[in-house]
Structures are given as C-alpha cells and as structure tokens.
Amino acid sequence: MQTDINEQSKIDAYLEKCNYAKKMLESQIEIMIKDFTFNHGYNPVEHVKGRIKTEKSIREKLAKHNKEYTAENIEKYVKDIVGIRIVCSFLSDVFDMVYLISHTKNIIIKQREDYIKNPKDTGYMSYHLQVLIPIYLQEHAQFIECEIQIRTMAMDFWATLDHKISYKFQQAIPDEIKSQMYDYAQIIQELDKKMLDLNQIVQKYKKEL
C-alpha cells in the first residue's frame, strides 16, 4: 500500500533524525577508541560499522507486528533503525568497550543483552546495547534509540554465517541444524578464550622487556 505524501514526509523527517543520531554515535565511539588507545597504548577495536535500516526492512518489520507504515509506528516498534557494530580483537576488549560506552555521558543505556554469557540457541554470541542518543533540533532534545553490537572477530565471523543459514529458513530452523550450529559456535567460543590467553602471555612478555 502506498504511503500518502504527508505521512511520507513525517517518515522522512524521522529517518533524517536517525541519520543525525548515527553520526553522533559514531563520533562518540571514535573519540572513545582514540582516548582508550592513547591511555593504554593499543587499539582494542578492529573496525566499526554503522548502518541505517532500509525502508524495505522497516516495512517488513512493521508487517510482522501487523502495523501500518507510519512515522509513529516506526518510532514505537522499530528500535534498530540505527545499528552500530564494533568488532574487537579479543574477548576482554569487548567488555572494555561495554564499560566505556556505559560510562559515556551522552549515551544512555536502555537495555543490555549479553549473548556472550547467554548465547542464543544457534550459538550466536555478541553483546548488545540498546541506547538512547540525544539530538538537538531547534533547541529541543529528542532521544533516538539505537542498537550497538560488540563482538570479537571470531564472533563476527560466526554471526555472518548464522545470519546466512537462518535466512534460508522461512520458519524455525530444524533442530538438527540448530544443534550443529550451537556445537560449532562452542568451537568459536573456545578459540576466543585461547586467543585471549595467548594475548595475556604476549602482554606479560612485553612488560618484561
């Protein structure tokens, strides 16, 4: 169904605000990483990727909730229009970044999902933060909800495969496949632990030099 011009204008205005929030959040994270690097002598982050959800994806998400494509419903039901993914080198770096984000003045934590401690049934692991980012337009503050995913390189590799496999099934993933996915994810988790142990040994030798 085609959206009327007035409603589309409201949607465009809200999505533009989301774009402002994305830029502000990316800037905050960049400053945070630079400050950490300066104080600790190394960069804990391999890369940061931000995105704005496409209107097609927004429509599909609203359709799952049986909601019309309106600006009001987008703001109420689609909480991940702005998405930021932070990929770290080691497991300890993930929790360092969670701590830094949690203690940043202009980022308000709304919800936490620790899928590292409690993986999904497919074995998916990541640390998710739902945050509120204030944007200031015409002297009024409005808070835009954004999603931040923080994970290691190994977790990111697995998350990509998890998404591709899950996407192949319109309904629930068969138990046989889900069980194997979980088992393989445990191998990824064990690799992360071994790499963390190796990094700690490296750091020990660096201190002795």
* Residues 123, 175 contacting (CB under 8 angstroms): no
Q: Band the pLDDT of 70: cuts 50, 70, 90.
A: very high
Residue 62 structure tokens: 């609203």
Question: Average of pLDDT values for 160-170?
Answer: 75
For residue 138 the two structure tokens come to 């015409």
How do strand 140-152 and strand 82-88 relate by DSSP bridges? Answer: parallel
Mean pLDDT across the stretch 43-72?
A: 93
pLDDT at 208 over 90: no
Give the chain's length.
209
Task: Write down the pLDDT at residue 65.
Answer: 86
What pLDDT is stored for residue 105 in this prediction? 87
From the number of C-beta atoms within 10 Å of its C-beta (0-12, 13-18, 19+), residue 1 rates as exposed
With beta carbons less than 8 A apart as the criterion, state whether 186 and 125 touch: no
Alpha-carbon dihedral of residues 11, 14, 15, 16, nearest 10 degrees? 120
Number of Cβ atoms within 10 Å of the Cβ of 63: 11
Dist CA 21 CA 35 (whole Å): 21
State pLDDT tens for residues 174-187.
888 878 888 888 88
Predicted TM-score (pTM) of this structure? 0.87
Q: Which carries the bigger pLDDT value, residue 131 or residue 124?
A: 131
At 191, is the pLDDT very low, low, confident or very high (cuts 50, 70, 90)? confident
Q: Residue 2 above 80 pLDDT?
A: no
Alpha-carbon span 52 to 185, nearest angstrom = 28
Residues 63, 77: Cα–Cα separation, whole Å: 11
Question: From the CB of residue 126, how many other CB atoms can be counted at a distance below 10 Å?
Answer: 24
- Helix, strand, or coil here: 138? coil
pLDDT at 170: 65
CA proximity to 134, closest of 112, 106, 101, 109: 106
Q: Which domains does the chain have, with CATH numbers?
A: 5-208 (3.30.460.10)
pLDDT at residue 198, as a whole number:
83
